[in-house]
Amino acid sequence: MDTFSFDIIAQQILYGLLMGSLYGLMAVGFSLIWGIMDMLNFAHGEFFMLGGYFTYYLFSILHINPVLSIFIGMIMIGGLGALIFNFFIYPINKKPNWLINTIIITLGVSICAQNLALIIFGERYKTLPKFIHYTVSFWGIYIGADRLIILIMALLLLGGLWLFIQKTNIGISMQAVGQNKEAAQIIGLSIKGIYTITFAVSGALAGAAGGLLAPIYSIYPSVGFMPLLMAFLVVILGGLGSIKGAIYAGFLLGIVESLAILYLSTAWKDVAMFALMILVLSFRPKGLFGTRSE
């Protein structure tokens, strides 16, 4: 086990926080769909991927300000999420075997989306050029200004989402549907409406994560695979039904991962994290902060 200087460790932790915030964005969206709609959205990674592509094209082709690009991309992906829900998920709402059906159909959407992206965008990696060449430093740690902006935007989005879920009528309605679908219907909530919003919000967050990550990493058709797995991991660690849990677990995982990169090799970090997930599920089926086990 190597020892590293405080600077390097702190640097990695900051990096971990950055990645963690993005994992949180992915996880929260995934958790919303799982918690409110009782399904696993295997196309979640593709929302991420498309968000990345949209941001890329908005910025590099249309030369729209990158921050604005991310927001526009977010809204577009949100709309896409609503459409996908409407055409692929809602029609099978009344059929039995909901879980199996939704797993398979979202897998299908995922495969189609990846291959469409391959055909339309090509297989070459797209990288967003840096738009701010400025480095901020404090306490001996250096961070590019663009990464700092990304971190701040991610935090704002997470905070905004939390407020949305906890304080707005729609957010509370979403929680209600998640906890008791029948009762929510009795008091007049539209399940279709809530589900649509859930999908849209989930997609928007994933799309934002993709757009935010685009300047750091490249975008390619199958880039969504790892973010999807990260979403799984974070939601399970943080516990289903807890937005805060997802956010905390996201940061935790980001830091654990960045330290693992430092101390172990990159290749084994995934194994370590999946093993961690299995362990957590074995001993605490509700996750670390979970409120529900189903």
Nearer to another protein, 163 or 264 (CB): 264
Pick 88 or 162: Cβ nearer another protein:
88
Shortest distance, position 222 Cβ to another protein, whole Å = 10
Provide the β-strand partners of residue 260: none
Q: Which residues bind another protein (CB under 8 A)?
A: 34, 38-40, 88, 91-92, 95-101, 103-105, 107-116, 118-119, 229, 232, 236, 267-268, 270-271, 274-275, 277-278, 281-282, 285, 293-294
Smallest separation, CB 284 to another protein (Å) = 11
Closest to another protein by CB, 118 vs 163, is 118
152 CB burial (10 A radius; 0-12, 13-18, 19+): exposed
**Contact (CB, 8 A) for 202 and 29:** yes
Q: 68-79 burial, b if ≥16 CB within 10 A, otherwise e? A: ebbbbbbebbbe
Residues 274-285 as b/e (b if ≥16 CB within 10 A, e otherwise) read: eeebeebeeeee
Pick the closer one to another protein by CB: 147 or 286. 286
**Alpha carbon distances (Å) from 110 to 44, 105, 123, 184:** 8, 9, 16, 31
Helix (H) or strand (E) holding 81: helix 66-84
Tell me how far, at minimum, the Cβ of 13 lies from another protein, in Å: 25
Task: Give the containing element (helix H, strand E) for 138.
Answer: strand 135-138
CB of 175 to another protein, least distance (A): 19
To another protein, the closest distance from the beta carbon of 211 in angstroms equals: 24
Give Cα 92 distance to the centre of its chain. Answer: 25
Nearer to another protein, 98 or 121 (CB): 98
Query: What whole-number distance in Å separates Cα of residue 184 and Cα of residue 176?
Result: 6
200 CB contacts (<8 Å, ≥6 apart)?
78, 79, 81, 82, 85
Q: How far apart are CA 150 and CA 142, in angstroms?
A: 15
Instruction: Compute the least distance from the CB of residue 92 to another protein, in Å.
Output: 6
d(CA 291, CA 278) in angstroms, rounded, equals: 18
Cβ distance to another protein smaller for residue 61 or 267: 267
**What minimum distance in Å lies between the beta carbon of 166 and another protein?**
24
| Structure tokens belonging to residue 36 | 């409110």
Closer residue to another protein, CB minimum distance, 6 or 268: 268
